[in-house]
Amino acid sequence: MSWTSRLSHLGRYSPFTRSPTQNGSTTVSDADFSYITSDDLKRHQEQTAEPTEAELGPARDTDMLVLSNKGQKYQVHFPAYSMARGELSVGKVREQAGTKLRVDGRRVKMTFKGKT
């Protein structure tokens, strides 16, 4: 038995094929859709509201990372709570590390626990 004959029946079970309809046509109605209302948007905004500073951690002036290069440690500061809010990116960290090391940020290679 060849491979093509073994695989020829798979098309019948594919989730991407159309299932046969009763009259040969499909009918779409308003019940098939759901609409987003202004109440839904308000509810979503309330659920995803930004956390308060008390929820983000203790009060502080800045967020700080300690970077190490050839045994020397460097403190790099960022705006307060930028890490907890997810505003801090790898590119921003590289840029600040490059400024601290006096090199171009694109030349900074960062590792975490010995892995890139």
Residue 110 CB burial class (10 angstroms; 0-12, 13-18, ≥19): exposed
The rounded distance, in Å, linking the Cα atoms of 70 and 79 is: 26
39: tokens are 């109440």
Q: Which tens digit of pLDDT belongs to each residue from 37-96?
A: 899 888 888 777 776 666 777 778 888 888 888 888 989 999 888 888 888 898 999 999
Q: Are 94 and 78 in contact (CB under 8 A)?
A: no
For position 86, what pLDDT does the model report? 84
